[in-house]
Amino acid sequence: GAGVSQSPSNKVTEKGKDVELRCDPISGHTALYWYRQRLGQGLEFLIYFQGNSAPDKSGLPSDRFSAERTGESVSTLTIQRTQQEDSAVYLCASSLELAGKYEQYFGPGTRLTVT
């Protein structure tokens, strides 16, 4: 079946502009995660959505970052007034989160370059 998809695959923006990144999780997956991966580094957790519960925003690096999710479907990550340090690959993952089914499935990522 279809996996996690993200758009755009690449985004180049000027410093100070706002950007929106989109994630379509696997159908039926109740949990959705956003991560950031800077060049040559591991993944940093940003935000977690689970069903209708309040999202866990504890990983968002600043108030310029926000994310929304509509029900158990699409999510958008918004970065306002982008800075050069925001340049990274933003990865989305989804999971079923039933007993024994905790595996996270990752999308291809959006490579964000802030000039």
Partner 1 sequence: ELKVEQNPLFLSMQEGKNYTIYCNYSTTSDRLYWYRQDPGKSLESLFVLLSNGAVKQEGRLMASLDTKARLSTLHITAAVHDLSATYFCAVPRAPGATNKLIFGTGTLLAVQP
Binding site residues, partner 1, CB under 8 A: 31, 33, 35, 41-45, 48, 50, 56, 58-59, 91, 93, 95, 97, 100, 102-109
Residue nearer to partner 1 on the CB measure, 57 or 81: 57
Establish whether the linkage from the previous residue to 55 is cis, with ω within 30° of 0: no
Looking at the Cβ atoms of 37 and 80, the one nearer to partner 1 is 37
Phi–psi pair at 86, nearest 5 degrees: -80, -10
Report in angstroms how near the CB of residue 16 gets to partner 1 at its nearest: 27
Query: Residue 81 CB, nearest distance to partner 1 (Å)?
Result: 26
- Residues 20/80, Cβ–Cβ less than 8 Å: no
**Nearest to 23, CA basis, from 64, 66, 77:** 77
CB of 67 to partner 1, least distance (A): 14
Contact 63, 81 (CB under 8 A): no
Residue among 43 and 74 whose Cβ is closer to partner 1:
43
